[in-house]
A and B are shown apart, each in its own frame.
Chain A
Amino acid sequence: MKSIVVISLIILGVLLCIIGMQSFRTKDDVIGQPIRFRIPEGFPSPVYTFKDNPLTLQGILLGRKLFYDGRLSRDGITSCASCHQQFSAFSDFEHPLSHGFNNTFSFRNTPPLFNLAWHPALHLDGAINHLEVQPLAPLLDSSEMATTLDSVLFKLNSDAQYKKMFRSAFGDSKITSQRMLKALAQFTITFISADAKYDKVKKGTMQFDDFEARGYAIFKERCASCHKEPLFTDFTYRNIGLPVDTFFNDYGRMRITGNPADSLKFKVPSLRNVARTAPYFHDGRVWGLGIAADHVRVAKNDRNADSLIRFGKPLERQEIQYLTYFLRTLTDSTLFKDSTLSDPAFRPFEHIR
């Protein structure tokens, strides 16, 4: 009697274990080691859906290798990292416009990369509606990496290391554009910037000094409606009264929507790390953080500028310096020093030309 109970219990136990293990298997078996996406405290939910591209360690490592690989361009030396430099919050340090293949230039200033999972659209005119397809734009642009998809895939396929990494990340060594793009998205989406002095002050572990505190008060009153905390952007497109550069005739969002009301509107950039991403504005026309902030004061009189700038409480000259002290507290050095985001071949200042 007792032995039958024991045997039944053992069999039951084994069966329950089998059921239990089955319930951990998801319908699409994830290949590789899953990585949990970090949502910083106080941040809203990301807009990127991980369902079709779950984060794995192998996917991120593959994306990192691709990000730092110059072979993804026609000249064999321009990589994503050539214009997206880690020490500059993944913007192009001290470049108003970026230079690409054969001394051609982009017509816009390279934006910094961080907190990408929260962007509903990318590029300053919102041209790109999904993070995964963004790399196609610089890859194929004749003024940037100037290459073709099939030539990139050919180079990747000729590299045994890539074949191995694609297998680890996706289950087999088939190298497709979709997999390459998903791996790049997995890597770039891990660039999180939420550990600046501002964040520590918010958590209570640090305090603003007196100038920074004044700057923050002015910021909350005058800037935060567009540069909304904690992401420091509301992702809308605004005209801040910058006259068009007649060399480029870049009318911003209007090119994408065709709507004349969108003329000269550009995406509100996140102000995080702004002290590291000079020069400023969509074409890098302004050097100096104070001068950039001062523009908003000056634009008050521009008939085309956003109503918040025209009719909001005016900025005073002396308030600019407090604002710049505050803006410096948005610099997050953990982003620059995070070695998991660095070049696997350890060339921290690569920028050959």
Chain B
Amino acid sequence: MLIPYSAGLLKVFVICGLFLNHGKPTNVESGQSRSNNVTIVFNHRVGAQQLHLDSSYTNAFGELFRVRQLKYYISNIEFHGRERSNFHKVPESYYLIEETRPASRIIPLSIPDDEYIRVSFLIGVDSVKNISGAQSGVLDPLNGMFWTWNTGYIMAKLEGSSPVSTLPRKMFEFHIGGYRYPHNVMRRIELSIPANLTRVGRDHPVSIPVSVDLNVWFAGQHSLSLSKYPACTAPGLLATQYADNYARMFMTE
């Protein structure tokens, strides 16, 4: 008599046990419990020269300039394998790269071990985050990359000075933003991963260098000389032209 009852109770115990675990939130954060197996490193330069904040450079229009700040968001990082079905989207990937913070230029990631031939990412913050209210961490307005007067993120900032500028103190200032059609400045960059770096494994972590050539900011798809355009601080057609340009700044070496 006892045995059939306890068998029934055992089933109840097992089922209850399953339910008891049901409510607990699962917490998988990439890079936390698993070691990093791939790192993207952004190198800022002007043409062939390394970017330094105290140096003067000459752009394609023969204009001298100095950079005071370069800041941009990288987000929604994806790694693509040879097969179309084989790709990995890095969850919740938002990074703020700042020239004045060298450590920010190094992005360590943990992705499934595999062979990847392409890496892609968005320059800027996707539209969803632009309309979802107060954010934190890298997306905190405290980082100075958020427009309070016309809600939305500043996707990329370039500030400095040039003798050809018509603005006070010869400054130039580009705060490129805008997520609404038709002046959406978000751009997705696709880069081939060099052949010797395609195998990503926990036993041999890979570092992918990406060079960022500031010359292309001024002379890429559009010719935007400093003397003609010393500033762009609102969404609009000009901002989209800078976005078209800066999308071409990125190259795997």
A-B contact pairs, 8 of them (CB 8 A): A8-B8, A19-B16, A25-B23, A127-B149, A133-B146, A153-B142, A178-B135, A182-B133
CB within 8 Å for A257 and B180 given contacts A128-B151, A150-B142, A177-B141: yes
Pairs A-B, 8 closest by C-beta atoms: A132-B133, A136-B148, A181-B134, A132-B134, A178-B136, A130-B133, A178-B134, A129-B151
- Assembled-state Cα–Cα distance A178/B8 (Å): 51
Helix, strand, loop or mixed for chain A's interface? helix
**Contact digits for B13-51, partner A, Cβ 8 Å, 1 yes 0 no:** 100100110110100000000000000000000000000
Give, as a whole number of angstroms, the nearest-CB distance from B16 to chain A: 5
Residue in chain B with minimal CB distance to A176 = B136
Instruction: Verify A133–B25 contact, CB threshold 8 A.
Output: no
* Nearest-neighbor residue (CB-CB) of B18 within chain A: A19
Q: B141 — which chain A residues lie within 8 A by C-beta?
A: 133, 136, 149, 177
Distance in Å: Cβ of B239 to nearest Cβ of chain A: 10
Q: Please, which residues of chain A bring their CB within 8 A of the CB of B23? A: 22-23, 25, 27
With the chains together, A182 CA to B136 CA distance in Å? 11
Is the beta-carbon distance between B16 and A52 smaller than 8 angstroms?
no
Which of these, B1, B20, B135, contacts A19 with CB under 8 Å? Answer: B20
Residues of chain B within 8 A (CB-CB) of A53 are: 133
User: Across the interface, do B16 and A18 meet the contact criterion of CB distance under 8 Å?
Assistant: yes
B148 touches A139 (CB 8 A): yes
Most A CB contacts (10 A, CB to CB) among B134, B141, B150, B235 go to B134
CB within 8 Å of A: which of B206-253? 235-237
Interface 0/1 of A237-257, CB less than 8 Å to B: 000000000000000000111
Interface residues on A, range: 35 or more
A129 contacts B1, CB within 8 Å? no
Minimum CB–CB distance for A107 against chain B, Å: 11
B242 to chain A, nearest CB (A): 15
| A27 to B19 CA separation, bound complex (whole angstroms) | 13
Cα separation A258 to B183 with both chains bound (whole Å): 9
Q: How far is the CA of A255 from the CA of B178 in the complex (A)?
A: 13
The answer to whether A4 and B132 touch across the interface, beta carbons within 8 angstroms, is no
Interface presence of B113 (CB below 8 A): no
Residue numbers in A under 8 Å from B142 (CB-CB): 149-150, 153, 177
Q: A127-144 CB contact bits vs B (8 Å, 1 = yes)? A: 111111100110111000
The reply to whether A130 and B19 contact each other, CB–CB distance below 8 Å, is: no
Whether the pair A28, B25 counts as a contact (CB closer than 8 A) is: yes
Query: How many Å lie between the Cα of A93 and that of B10 in the bound state?
Result: 70
**In the complex, how many angstroms separate the beta carbon of A129 from the nearest chain B beta carbon?**
4
Contact status A15-B13, CB under 8 Å: yes
Could you say which of B1, B25, B149 contacts A1, with CB atoms under 8 Å apart? B1
Cβ of B2 within 8 Å of any chain A Cβ, yes or no, is yes
Q: A133-B134, A258-B235 are in contact. Are A176 and B149 (CB under 8 A)?
A: no
Contact of B132 among A8, A130, A181, A258 (CB under 8 A): A130
Q: Is B63 an interface residue (CB 8 A)?
A: no
Q: Within residues 85 to 130 of chain B, which ones have a CB less than 8 A from any CB in chain A?
A: 130
CB distance from B15 to the nearest CB of A (A): 9
A115 to B128, CA, bound (A): 24
CB interface residues, B 129-181, toward A, < 8 Å: 130-136, 140-142, 146, 148-152, 180
A residues within 8 A CB of B25? 27-28
Within the complex, what minimum Cβ distance (angstroms) separates B183 from chain A? 6
Contact of B131 among A129, A178, A182 (CB under 8 A): A129
The reply to whether the CB of B60 lies closer than 8 angstroms to some CB of chain A is no
Interfacial chain A residues near B130, Cβ < 8 Å = 129
Task: Please indicate the chain B residues that have their CB under 8 angstroms from the CB of A257 in the complex.
Answer: 180
A15 touches B16 (CB 8 A): yes
Bound: A141/B148 CA distance, A:
9
Q: Tell me the bound Cα distance from A12 to B15 in angstroms.
A: 12
A178 touches B13 (CB 8 A): no
| Measured CA separation A182–B183 after assembly (Å) | 29
A132 to B133, CA, bound (A): 5
Given contacts A150-B142, A177-B141, A257-B180, contact A127 B133 (CB under 8 A): no
- Give every chain B residue within 8 A of A258 (Cβ-Cβ): 183, 235-237
Q: Say yes or no: B12 contacts A137, CB within 8 Å.
A: no
Say yes or no for B53: interface residue by CB 8 A criterion: no
* Contacts known (A136-B148, A139-B148, A177-B142); A22 close to B133, Cβ less than 8 A: no
| In the complex, A11 has a CB within 8 A of chain B | yes
Q: Which residues of A contact B148 (CB under 8 A)?
A: 133, 136-137, 139-141
Question: Could you tell me the distance between the alpha carbons of A98 and B5 in the complex, rounded to whole angstroms?
Answer: 77
Q: Which residues of B contact A131 (CB under 8 A)?
A: 133
Residues of B within 8 Å of A185, CB to CB, are 133-134
A235 CB, nearest partner CB in chain B, Å = 15
A255–B134 CA distance with the chains assembled, in angstroms: 23
With a CB–CB cut-off of 8 A, which chain A residues contact B1?
Answer: 1, 4
Q: Which residues of A contact B9 (CB under 8 A)?
A: 8, 11-12
Give the chain A neighbours of B22 by CB distance below 8 A. Answer: 22
- Which of chain A's residues has its CB closest to B148's CB? A136
Give Cα distance in the complex from A28 to B24, angstroms.
9
Cβ–Cβ < 8 Å partners of A140 in chain B: 148
